[in-house]
Amino acid sequence: MKLSKKMTLISMAAAAAAIVPIVILTALSDVKKDYTVKLSSSAPCPCGNLAHHFVAETVSLMSTTKLENIYDNTSLKLTEEGKKANINDLKVILQKLITKYSTNQDHSNLINDKIFMKYFLVKIPKQSDFTNHYFEFKIKVSDDKNSKHPIYLEYKIRSLNIVNKSHPIEDIRQIYL
């Protein structure tokens, strides 16, 4: 009887020792050599936006060429009416609009406002251009009175990969008026 209990304990220990490397190898297999990471469908998204959750099982980093293409295809310009206006007046108008739309995570509602469109032209990439990434942007007014670029668009490209409970920023840039 004692012999069979020992054999059972030895068998259980051997089984546990065999399972641990399999678990470790399975976890390591999620990180691929091309720097992609397999997403867990049960991981919560800290941003709360369910529209872009887990578009794919893996998320890759964007190439430098793709990041430059996005930068080249993003712009903030003045309309003819905006060119006639004083920059300080434009700053006041924009501050009021930013306050009005402050609850919007990005400024997608702001750039579609009739008053905004009267003075500014914004060109941003389509979300469909961002496989496994998302583009967030804000229109900003500099607090520095001596700034050469008091109005600008700042954008971030975030990976859908969740690291430390957030989506890592892959690129952040400013587009000046």
For residue range 135-158, list pLDDT tens digits in order. Answer: 889 999 998 988 999 999 999 998
Handedness of CA 127, 130, 136, 141 (dihedral sign): negative
Q: Are 114 and 97 contacting, i.e. CB atoms less than 8 angstroms apart?
A: no
Considering the entire predicted model, what is its pTM? 0.65
Confidence check: pLDDT of 160 > 50: yes
